[in-house]
Amino acid sequence: MKKLVIATLSAMVLLPFAALGVESASAADEARVRVLQASPDAPAVDVYINGAEAISDLAYPNVTDYVPLSAGSYEVAVYAAAANGTGTPVIAATLDLTASTDYTVAAVGQLAAIEPLVLVDNNALPALGQAHLRFVHTSPNAPAVDIAAAGAGVVVPNAAFKDASGYLPLSAGSYDLSVLAAGTSTVALDLPDVKLESGKVYTAFALGLLGETPPLTAKVVVDAQASLPAAPSTGTGLVTDGSSTEMNLYILAGIALVGIALAVGVASTTFASATGRR
């Protein structure tokens, strides 16, 4: 069993968005975007929006804070930081943003096949005494897995690369989770005493490489919390594909903590009641 390590990341350099030529807008007309560098063998990157540098030197496995952008369409180019924005970008994509919506844009896959994964984030705050938890698989060579909770069985089944779960509404407290080879009872990793705090929204990202370097790991970031404003959202889903709190869960047998979309109501009832953890 590997030790659970909790750390705090410093935010990468987020350049003033006024420099992007983006007109200021009211909060109601804005989206919020954060960027995750989840490509395990890619170098640190710079992110350009509409030709202007927005994020500098973002290294694996870091994630930025959310930044506001006016709703609309943006041309995004990702370069190796050493390239200084010249040459051919490793990623070039169009990002369409809807007002009052939060997004996570992740660079996923190994460098030879790197691509953007765009997620719509539901940062609506949970009820008092509750937390929300989502799982996203960004480990390019890990097989499908199931996530199980003590006393509840599998709550996230058969999760594959680039899959994202719905948000599980859970009672605040501690949970014992296990990562299983999909469709089996073989435990690859025990995750005891995973603490979820009241009023917070979390995403757990599977990162790294199975049996290679950097090793498989899971990063749990706080997406929103009751003490901070959270933009309203229409929901969560896979579209195309800050300082942040992370939980590095080093995987014993090389299968990552991940998830796919599931019925939130059913998972909530099963997960929160059957575990009996508070």
pLDDT in tens, 110-143: 999 999 999 999 999 999 999 998 989 999 998 8
**Domains identified in the chain, total number:** 1
pTM of the model: 0.74
Please give the structure tokens belonging to residue 93: 């994509």
Structural domain containing residue 210? 4-275
Q: pLDDT averaged over the chain?
A: 78
Q: Alpha-carbon distance 34 to 13, whole Å?
A: 12
Q: Which of 29-33, 134-138, 194-198, 226-230 has the lowest mean pLDDT?
A: 226-230
Q: Is 257 helix (H, G, I), strand (E, B) or coil?
A: coil
Q: For 88, how many CA atoms within 13 A lie in the half-sphere containing its CB?
A: 1
Return the residue matching tokens 């496995």.
61
pLDDT in tens, 76-91: 999 999 999 999 999 9
Q: Which of 122, 72, 132 is nearest to 102 (CA)?
A: 122
Q: How many CA atoms lie within 13 A of 135 on its CB side?
A: 31
Q: Do 119 and 232 meet the contact criterion of CB atoms below 8 Å apart?
A: no
Looking only at the bridges linking them, the beta strands covering 115-121 and 102-108 are: antiparallel
Tokens of 35: 């960027």
Q: Strands 45-49 and 52-58: what pairing? A: antiparallel
CA nearest 109: which of 19, 18, 197, 208?
A: 208
